[in-house]
Structure 1
C-alpha cells in the first residue's frame, strides 16, 4: 500500500482514511498508519519520504518534541547535502550518543522513513 501525501488541512483525514480503508484489507495495518500520522502531527516522530533533501530533514527533525525538550544539538555542517535520511540519522546518533540519545527508525514496510528520538538504555 502506498501512503499518499498528508492532506493540507491538519487533522482532516476523513477522505484519506476512507481511501485507505477501501485499499487496506487489514484493520490493524490501517490503525498503525493512522497512529503514525497522529503522533507525527503531534511532533513525537518525523515522517520522511526516501528522497527528502537535507533542508526538509533538518526542518522536520528540529520539530520533534524530544529534540526540543532536551536541547539536542544538530551540527548542520557535519551533514552532507548529497546524503540521505539513513546517513544523516547515523551522523546524528554519533552527535547525540554522549548526551544519551539516539534516533530510531519505525519500520512500515514502505519507502518512507519514520524517525523517533529516544534515550539510550544501557541496562
Structure 2
C-alpha cells in the first residue's frame, strides 16, 4: 500500500509532495468519495478525485508506485476518467479598451 500524497506526487498529479499533502489536508483529494488524509493508503481499483489547477481530475488507480516516475510511465499507473475541460467559448472575453481612451467613466457605453 502507498500513501495517497506520495502516489499522487509519484504519478505527477502534483508537482511536489508537500503540495499533494496540503491538498489532502485542505480536502481537495477524495478516495472513493471520502475526503482523504495525506497518509491514507491507496490500492489498485480506488477512485481518486483531485481538485487542482482549476479543474477536477478523476483517476482510477491501476498500479502503485513508490518513487516518482517519468510521464509515460506515470500515465500507465492510472486510468483517467476526468470529464473534458469546458470549451473556451464559455468564458467571457476580457473587454478591450481603445488605447489612449483614458479611464472609463460612468457615462461610457458598455461594450
TM-score (norm. length: structure 1)? 0.29
Bigger radius of gyration among the two: 2
